Amino acid sequence: MRKKIVAGNWKMNNSLKEGLELAGRINELLKMRGKKEADVILAPPFIFLSDITKMIDPQLISVAAQNCASEEKGAFTGEISAEMVASTGATHVIIGHSERRSYFGEDDRMLNKKVNIALKNNLYPIFCCGEILNQREKGIHFEVIQKQLENGLFSLDSSEFSRVIIAYEPVWAIGTGVTATPEQAQEMHQHIRGLVDKKYGSSISEELTILYGGSCKPSNAGELFKNPDVDGGLIGGASLVAEDFISIIYSF
């Protein structure tokens, strides 16, 4: 059965103390609320990973890194390897977030290397794809997503691909106050599932979790999650407020 997932990407926010308090509060609220439809993942900054994996209940929350290096080890000052991420107890890693693509110039070739290294270290990649406003206005958004998936993921074999989670980010709807309509989200998620079906077959495409990653918040999560191909969200700002994040988790 296809997994529902709500993942919180904290980005570069919070001190260590604040991050531990936030994770603790989310853990506490999940215990209080009880049964939920979605798995929960927290993606704090690297330096929080070890502390957070030790304090949360792994039956309630999984932990992800926000990125990993494209090389296994060596003289790469400031980089964090997939092996290092896994050693903290984290189980997932976000790869190819729109901010990594746009601000740090990460291309499809590099992201493919990261995916392979993550899988080699038994991490589940949360692979991000998405188009910018200019590409959507030109009507080439479907082609952009297809290229990102083909170059970033489609070299994997079926068993490797089955460990991947995809997050669709309409880049024009991140931090702009604009949100893709539920219909736009469903249209692209359906397109992504169709591409995966053509490449890997229906048994894999139907099990694939596809998250929506564009300004999802308590006020619109329910409508977005009603779509048959929207399996949850990669949440940014709303994941920094425990009560808002919990509200999204229970929006299914």
Say if pTM beats, i.e. exceeds, 0.85. yes
For 140-177, the pLDDT digits (tens) are 999 999 999 999 999 999 999 999 999 999 998 776 66
Q: For the chain, how far is it from start to end, CA to CA, in angstroms?
A: 15
Paired strand residues for 7:
41, 234
Which positions are annotated as active-site residues?
Answer: 97, 169
Domain boundary assignment for the chain: 5-249
User: For residue 216, what are the CA distances in angstroms to 57, 95, 166, 178?
Assistant: 25, 19, 16, 10
C-alpha span between 12 and 2 (Å, rounded): 30
Beta strands 92-95 and 232-235 are unpaired
Residue 68 near residue 80, CB atoms below 8 Å: yes
Residue 33 near residue 250, CB atoms below 8 Å: yes
Three-state SS at 236:
coil
User: For residue 144, what are the CA distances in angstroms to 19, 149, 233?
Assistant: 35, 9, 21
C-alpha span between 124 and 165 (Å, rounded): 7
Domain 5-249 class in CATH: alpha beta
Mind listing the pLDDT tens digit of every residue in the chain (252 residues)? 899 999 999 999 999 999 999 999 999 999 999 999 999 999 999 999 999 999 999 999 999 999 999 999 999 999 999 999 999 999 999 999 999 999 999 999 999 999 999 999 999 999 999 999 899 989 999 999 999 999 999 999 999 999 999 999 999 877 666 668 999 999 999 999 999 999 999 999 999 999 999 889 999 999 999 999 999 999 999 999 999 999 999 999
